[in-house]
Amino acid sequence: MTALTTSDLTEIYTDLHRHPELAYAEHRTAGIVAERLRGWGFDVHEGVGGTGVVGVLGNGEGPRVLLRADMDGLPVTEATGLPYASTDTATTPDGVESGTMHACGHDVHVTCLLGAASRLAAAPETWSGTLIALFQPAEEVGSGARTMLADGLYDRIGGAPDVVLGQHVMPLPVGVVNLTAGPAMAAADSLRVTLHGRGGHGSSPEATVDPVVMAAATVMRLQGVVAREVGANEGAVVTVGALRSGTQANIIPASAELLVNVRTFDASVRERVLGAIRRIVEAESAASGAPAAPEIESIASFSAMANDPEASERTRAVLARVLEEQRGTIESAGGVPAVISLPPAAGSEDVGELATAVGVPLVYWNLGGWDPQAFAGFDLAHASGMGDLPAGVAPNHSPFFAPVPEPTLELGAELLVEAAVDRLR
């Protein structure tokens, strides 16, 4: 059995990048994954949680180790100008036609896990136990892991793992990994708010209840939640990512829709912020004389993600060893340690549910995927997050998000292999 080479990884990655698929529509990606896994001797389970794929490879007695990659792309029109840039389009569940893009690196994740799976299958003498390669749908909407679990994931594959491992490519230099033990990523809630007005002619606003004005007042008022209701020693973010209303300049519409995103680290702060949003939406609606109460619908929800401290320190040593061995061929970022530990990120992930559902440790790290030269002179150790990056380095979800395929893919596959083998002994 032959493992995937560096050129194989690049070929798979560029193909996946050209053809991103939105949450629960990852049919092409899932088919590629299933075919590859089956060719390497994995017992393949398809359609788990809709489009999820799980490959199970037994190799004697030993632990059960789960490696996870997410598969879905985003409704973002790519602007990287890369020769393999996506030109695909799709219709979102809200009925919006959009370009699609792997603007969060899930194509990197799938490729690296395929690389790791092929190498572990080709070298059974290096490990013992059961390898579970899980390719998850719908991470971007926060429900993919939950849906796979609800679809009997662990019953279907013969039992739960002893540990869940995974990685996410980020705007960090190649050769640098971030691993934050303990609380590592925020809880997230996405809401759809529908404000009801009374439509009419633009020349006679007095005969209407204008939902656009109502929505504008609500957006501005929501910006005061974090500024005035969350303490300086607490963390929260409230973002209005979309405001949709109307079709023409001289028509006052009958309703307006807001899409609101909330990030918190503490359960009590989460409850307080969500309560404040509801209070403000209802109050602005009442103040405008709305003919009907507003509707507030939860459309996505992520739990806060925490890495197991003890398991993280064990894996940290493995990652550091691999990265230090590679630094002779991979230029590092100005003396930055191979494995850093940044403060908890306001971004969110649902990978933790695969571990917490069965009470096993989670270790999830950030893989650097950018040319180290882009970080020359940048104080990476004190960076505050994706809003604090060198010029020209795009954050996740940007239309300019563009990891360098090599050596990112090769290194990402090797890190997964070594982290798994450390457990499969």
Average pLDDT, the chain: 95
Of 283, 302, 321, the last residue of a domain is 302
Residue 217 has pLDDT above 90, yes or no: yes
Domain with 287 in it: what CATH number?
3.30.70.360
Could you tell me the maximum CA-CA distance found in the chain, to the nearest angstrom?
79
Tell me if 46 is assigned to a ligand binding site: no
- The answer to whether residues 118 and 152 belong to one domain is yes
Name the domain boundary from 250, 273, 302: 302
Tell me the mean pLDDT in the region 274-289.
98
Please indicate, yes or no, whether residues 378 and 337 belong to a single structural domain of this protein.
Answer: yes
| Model pLDDT, residue 380 | 77
Answer yes or no: do 172 and 309 share one domain: yes
Predicted local confidence at residue 387, as pLDDT: 67
Residues 271 and 333 in one domain: no
In angstroms, rounded to a whole number, what is the distance separating the alpha carbons of residues 130 and 153? 15
Token pair recorded at residue 321: 């060893």
Question: How far lies 255's CA from each of 89, 212, 278, in Å?
Answer: 28, 8, 17
Q: Are residues 25 and 164 in the same domain?
A: yes
The answer to whether residues 345 and 356 belong to one domain is yes
195, pLDDT greater than 60: yes
Mean pLDDT of 209-220: 98
Q: Cα–Cα distance between 175 and 396 in angstroms, integer?
A: 18
For residues 91 and 117, state if they share a domain.
yes
In a domain, 176, yes or no: yes
Do 297 and 374 fall within a single domain?
no
pLDDT in tens, 230-260: 999 999 999 999 999 999 999 999 999 999 9
- 254 part of a folded domain: yes
Size of the chain in residues: 425
Write the CATH number for 55. 3.40.630.10
Question: What is the mean predicted confidence (pLDDT) over 299-315?
Answer: 96
The strand pairing partners of 136, in sequence order, are: 70
- Do 388 and 407 sit in the same domain of this protein? yes
Q: Which tens digits make up the pLDDT trace of 355-397?
A: 999 999 999 999 999 998 898 888 776 666 666 788 889 999 9
140 is in an annotated binding site: yes
Is it true that the peptide bond before 395 is cis, omega within 30 degrees of 0?
A: no
Residue 25 lies in a domain: yes
Number of folded domains in the chain?
2
* Residue 201 assigned ligand-binding role: no
Task: Mark whether 345 and 414 lie in a shared domain.
Answer: yes
* Res 198 pLDDT > 80: yes
Same domain, yes or no, for 170 and 314? yes
In a domain, 125, yes or no: yes
Q: What is the mean pLDDT of residues 263-281?
A: 97
- Tell me what the mean pLDDT of segment 148-175 comes to: 97
Give the model's pLDDT for residue 386.
Answer: 65
Percent of the chain at pLDDT above 70?
96
Q: Say if CB 411 and CB 319 are below 8 A apart.
A: no
Range of the domain at 60: 6-184+304-423
Which of 278, 302, 326 lies at the terminal end of a domain, its last residue? 302
Residue 1 lies in a domain: no
The distance from CA 13 to its chain's CA centroid, rounded to whole angstroms, is 17
Q: According to the model, what pLDDT value does residue 104 have?
A: 98
Residues 199, 68: one domain? no
Question: Which residue bears the tokens 């840039």?
Answer: 85
27 known ligand binder: no
pLDDT at 294 over 90: yes
Is residue 332 predicted with pLDDT exceeding 60?
no
Per-residue pLDDT, averaged over 149-159, amounts to: 98
Using CA atoms, how far apart are residues 302 and 353, in angstroms rounded to an integer?
Answer: 9
pLDDT in tens, 39-91: 999 999 999 999 999 999 999 999 999 999 999 999 999 999 999 999 999 99
